[in-house]
Amino acid sequence: MPFDVSHPEVREAVRRALEEDIGPGDVTSEATIPAGKKARGRFFARERLVLAGIELLPLVYELRGGVDRLELDAASGEPCEDGRCVATVEGKARRLLECERVALNFLQRLSGVATLARKYVDAVAGTGVTILDTRKTTPGLRRLEKMAAAAGGVTNHRMGLWDAILIKNNHITAAGGVRAALERVRGTELPVEIEVRTRAELDEALACGARRLLLDNLTPEEAAEWVRTAHEAGAVTELSGGITLENIRAYAATGTDYISCGAVTHSAAAVDLNFRLEWR
């Protein structure tokens, strides 16, 4: 998923962020800086990171009236070393300063997601396993955070509850069992996946023709056995639950097709980027 800054959800997220921070005006800049004063600002990486969200900068400034010049010196998905300049902007000093925090908040948060995503992808390199993200995202920022995860090399799972069927343990309980739940989704054109938590549920799901299985909270040894059984029946598998950077390689070695990691979005720490203003 590329950074599509034209998407209405993205534009609305940026608009809300600017309104939240600036409100009726940046009173400090208005009090201390002449209205016509021009300046140049540069965005720098202050640690090694995978950049994400840099394409939002033109939108940030556009929504506040624009700038004289903006150059993006890197792209989302690009690894950056400490000290690298990733963007330069020129325009009214007041405008650059009123947009500074919003721009940095997006860059730091989204680059944090991309940086952590790349660590998970690198941890399973050579195994053939695909890392998936989840719906464990910041409310209102899912599309942006999934774009950032993709920039880090993770494959986006479903965007929401509408674009795929994922039958989880509570659905199974409410439907009356694995077979009943699968019977109810027969004929759908949407992708179907079912979560199984016991060996009995695994066998029942396979007997009912399930072709994509979510195997949750297993040890690597258990997962290897269940994955082998599922593959022999022609199903693909996804592992989740209790998987960290420290143990993901062991889970990848089970031969599973996918591993989903909510930590990519819900546990990503903001990375360090800063903005330095220079008078023109």
Please give the positions annotated as active site: 101, 136, 168, 195, 216
What gap in Å lies between CA 197 and CA 191, rounded to an integer? 20
Amino acid identity for residue 280 in this structure: R
φ/ψ (deg, to 5) at 9: -65, -35
β-pairing, 69-72 with 192-196?
unpaired
